Homo-oligomer: A and B are copies of this chain.
């Protein structure tokens, strides 16, 4: 079993509730569980109670920092329709809700509907011709960097001690143990790279809200990521992420709103 599957396990305890355990292998700065890791528990639980196989539109509101250890997921089937179903999930650590997710699911294996591709995948050399953009740097407490690997043409500016002032990046991303990406794990992957605002010197921030739109089932383990922040205003900033599979197909778009510690 791959790391993500083992570490995001949920066990039904009846009435739409699930027992979970937040591990210490997916932490971000400060040793707190990564936001994309927290979402995974809600999506795995919703995947058990909703009739459609693929998360399509996921909205996650972060209420408090997650805490490693035992946790609970409470789910509600909001609507189960023919083409789409919608559910809600709350992740609770101790007696405190840390994350509330509403997600609509669909069947992305169904080939109906028109396709017009106007965007383009990042143009990157193959992963084995790229380098670790962190340059081997590991920020204290950030274990998620050992679970999810990145490959880029060159190191990130901030990781080389020279923040570029331009919070944009393109790189390959994939699970370190080679687990294939699937629609359930895309919401984890979009939040597992170091934030682009490190190029602006913003080191400490917290996610308020993360939306993930899953656009297709990934056809490769390595995914090409395009990350950008365009607006830091009053300490709040958005981070946009696109993930493309190796066949050049967009598989996920995400946007999060985060707040820096100076707010």
Query: Residues of A at under 8 Å CB distance from B?
Result: 56-57, 59, 61, 63-64, 78-79, 83-84, 86, 88, 97, 100, 102, 104, 108, 110-119, 166-167, 200, 202, 208-209, 211, 213, 215-216, 229-236, 238, 249-250, 253, 255, 257, 259-260, 262-263
Known contacts A63-B79, A117-B231, A215-B236; can you find 18 more A-B pairs with CB under 8 A? Answer: A56-B236, A57-B61, A61-B102, A83-B263, A112-B262, A112-B263, A113-B235, A114-B202, A114-B234, A114-B260, A114-B262, A115-B234, A116-B232, A117-B232, A209-B211, A215-B231, A233-B250, A253-B255
How close is A65's CB to chain B, nearest CB, in angstroms? 12
Given contacts A59-B59, A234-B216, is CB(A100)–CB(B114) below 8 Å? Answer: no
Cβ of A119: which chain B residues have Cβ within 8 Å of it? Answer: 230-231
Whole-angstrom CA separation of A202 from B115 in the bound complex:
11
Question: Judging by beta carbons under 8 Å apart, are B202 and A213 in contact?
Answer: no
Question: Judging by beta carbons under 8 Å apart, are A78 and B61 in contact?
Answer: yes
Specify how many copies of this chain sit in the oligomer: 2
Cβ of A86: which chain B residues have Cβ within 8 Å of it? Answer: 61, 63, 100
Q: Which of A115, A119, A209, A232 has most B Cβ within 10 Å?
A: A209
Question: Judging by beta carbons under 8 Å apart, are B233 and A117 in contact?
Answer: yes
Whole-angstrom CA separation of A211 from B113 in the bound complex:
23
Question: Judging by beta carbons under 8 Å apart, are A235 and B112 in contact?
Answer: yes
Cβ of A231: which chain B residues have Cβ within 8 Å of it? Answer: 117-119, 215, 250, 253
Cβ of A117: which chain B residues have Cβ within 8 Å of it? Answer: 231-233
Question: Judging by beta carbons under 8 Å apart, are A100 and B100 in contact?
Answer: no
Cβ of A59: which chain B residues have Cβ within 8 Å of it? Answer: 59, 61, 102, 209, 211
Whole-angstrom CA separation of A79 from B96 in the bound complex:
10
Whole-angstrom CA separation of A166 from B229 in the bound complex:
24
Of chain B, the residue at the smallest CB distance from A261 is B113
Whole-angstrom CA separation of A216 from B230 in the bound complex:
15
Whole-angstrom CA separation of A102 from B112 in the bound complex:
30
Cβ of A202: which chain B residues have Cβ within 8 Å of it? Answer: 114
